Chain A
């Protein structure tokens, strides 16, 4: 009888144990399901990023506090293939606040090495405009000559582009091919002193054709330290109508057949050099603009004139940061030097030969926040011309102390 009772008790406790086990397993499964729901990758992600730079410039003429950039960047990713990005460019200098659309476009990753992008995008003509223009990426407080307002090359435009990158043995190759609205030629009706210059800010087309361009970049070393790029850009910037229609003296002037061919070569080399206990960063770009000849009208003396419409711009820069130094303060310093030059056509009313030397001492507060102290010397063969200032390349020297941050 005793044995029976023990067996029954044992049987009942066994059943209870099994039930408790089932219950625990059910609870574990329930928790697992909840974790899976939490960890389930969502299809849509939104981010607000951007960068800013502000500080002061001291030249022979004045001392100014400036906010040279405040650029929020909006990013929206949907799934694994779709990205929308947009950048607003805000600038407050010399009591003027400007806001522009840097870019706003949609990209779709079609295959491993093919991305299609449409909208307003940064033009991959060389690398500075597309990759190094953000103030926290640029080692200097200013841009090299030939970039920005009245620059030699386009910065952004509306159109469509295919691009991508792939391996080529132990090297890499990247490409981009695009068609955009393109520039229009300044015919002199609005700003006679700039006749013959390309105006890249051209949201409304003045003709039926499109500008086309390409950039091929090769990274021959497998550590990706060196990149050499070649760019080309072709446009027909004239309108089919004469800008002087109704003016019997000049209505024969027409820029329909004017063509523009722009080419550039760029180079970038970034490497940790152990014997130097730091990082060497070298960049450069040479850009050439060749616009076919045309006849322009000078309203000041009512004469007509022509010139060989060729411009060139280049910059070389080097930076060194002793990032491998043991001293925590020393390793955050960086020294940098840049030489840039911009030559515009002889015979035009905007003929000039500008050069600029900038030396800088940077202190990196973090990987994306930097204090820049620059000293810049500018020389120009044209004094006091249109848009000339120490900032854009007039004569004189300037000291700049800026802080730039990516956020």
Chain B
């Protein structure tokens, strides 16, 4: 039992558990809508786009999440605007903007001498180093995102499933899309410290993908994704603690393992289920 209780003696470990549970929950909820809207690539794009904002915030001595929010929300709005106004496909616009923003971040970063350790933290996450005030800010942002999803739940669901029918019957489909892009951006900012820029897309997409293999009811889909999103980071953190390995990588690896289990045992794909079902 000490295997589970020992790390709890450390405040940093408890804070990391709380932070990763909040991040896992928000990512799972937003990620489920993202996957159903075919926007999985958008998560990758916006997390990279947040990078120059983080570096700029450091240069100006501002909190990192303010810079990250401005850069990610700005990029998501720009992607939405360019896709609507130009003939370019959405994924083309995303590809151009996300690499451009990431390059801008690296350029800004190269102007700072001796900053290497913190860069590693931002790219790959350092949830074990999260401070009490960071945790409060993160929880407040998460509460805002979840509250907005709760308020516009029906509208987001309808416009995700059938944008034409929803638009014709008076739902503001374009504004809902911008709202959702803004929610993705906020979710990424919330997740940056826990899993870092490179791995945040896994937090968004993997629980939703695993849940889709297990259930085909929308409400259960969100619940299963949320459960994976909350439990997997805790398991990952414990393994990371006892093996002294990278926490963010383990969080994502546990989620990937959950996905593989769903793939093997799930009632829909059920790679292992098929044979016993015959007998």
Does chain A bind chain B?
A: no
Chain B residues in contact with chain A, CB under 8 A? Answer: none
